[in-house]
Amino acid sequence: MACAIVSSSISSPLILSFLLFFSSSILSFLSHAEARYDPSYGSPISSIISEELFNSIFLHKDDSACPAKGFYTYFSFVQATKCFPRFGNTGDGATRKREVAAFLAQISHETTGGWATAPDGPYAWGLCFKEEVSPQSNYCDSTNQEWPCYPGKSYKGRGPIQLSWNYNYGPAGRALGFDGLKNPEIVANNSAIAFKTALWFWMTERKPKPSCHDVMVGRYRPTAADREANRTAGFGLVTNIINGGLECGIPDDSRVNDRIGYYKRYAQLFDVDVGPNLDCANQKPF
């Protein structure tokens, strides 16, 4: 799917004239215009997470110590969710809350600036970074001919999910309307695009991996290979999808535990249980 960036600028004079012509009064038009500036306008996600709750979840994202200060706004998050109407809008109320909590937990770990003794605890420091610091490579898989790397470009982790590798930047850009191979830097320069790439990754099935969304809303159907690998549904399987090659199949992995810590905090704030199978210690990676 393609999803153009939603602009927060005022409508053009032609559009305003059109609206005025069909409005019953100036007041009704102004009321409509005001609603357009409400970040939650037209998005079901606002019934789960308000701007106040969003800011209480990410207590320190705009601290001067965070390189992403001012980047990850509630407005950009809500606008991005409009491109993925099934996100946080599938299943009963508890399922919807659980999915949003799981998504926010995963992006918090990917961008965390917290530490064990951090103010307000280690799980209050999500969305502190918008791009990977000191990457070990340019994340170019030269064997992938479908999404060839552009000379001089780095496909290091960027955005809330830390999108990485040319074979992710390419299809994400195609789906969202930007050139991910020639202009990967936009994911760290445009907040709306950044959130959209994270949601694209969350919602997209990449066989043999299911989508994180399908796992969290109960649509995951394990194959024979999945059952043999003990890939059971739950938050742990989402971690396996995101970074299982490095984190899963390892008892008491600190990175997995950090993801779980965020998830437990957010589930409590949403007043919903976390569900089964929180870790992936006994799962084989995909």
Give the number of other CB atoms < 10 A from CB of residue 278: 18
158 φ, ψ (degrees, to nearest 5): -145, 150
CA distance 52 to 100: 15
Are 235 and 277 contacting, i.e. CB atoms less than 8 angstroms apart?
A: yes
Tokens of residue 9, six digits: 């600028």
Alpha carbon separation from 99 to 164, 194, 211 (Å, rounded): 23, 19, 12
Are 101 and 266 contacting, i.e. CB atoms less than 8 angstroms apart?
A: yes
Alpha carbon separation from 177 to 4, 7, 80, 140, 205 (Å, rounded): 6, 14, 13, 21, 19
Q: Out of 110, 131, 132, 247, which one is annotated catalytic?
A: 110
14 φ, ψ (degrees, to nearest 5): -65, -45
End-to-end Cα distance, the chain: 25
Burial of 37 (0-12, 13-18, 19+ CB in 10 A): exposed
Strand ranges for 144-248 from DSSP E: none
Tokens of residue 8, six digits: 């927060």
Compute the chain's Rg from CA coordinates.
20
206 φ, ψ (degrees, to nearest 5): -130, 90
Look up 51 and say whether it is catalytic: no
Tell me which residues are annotated as active site: 110
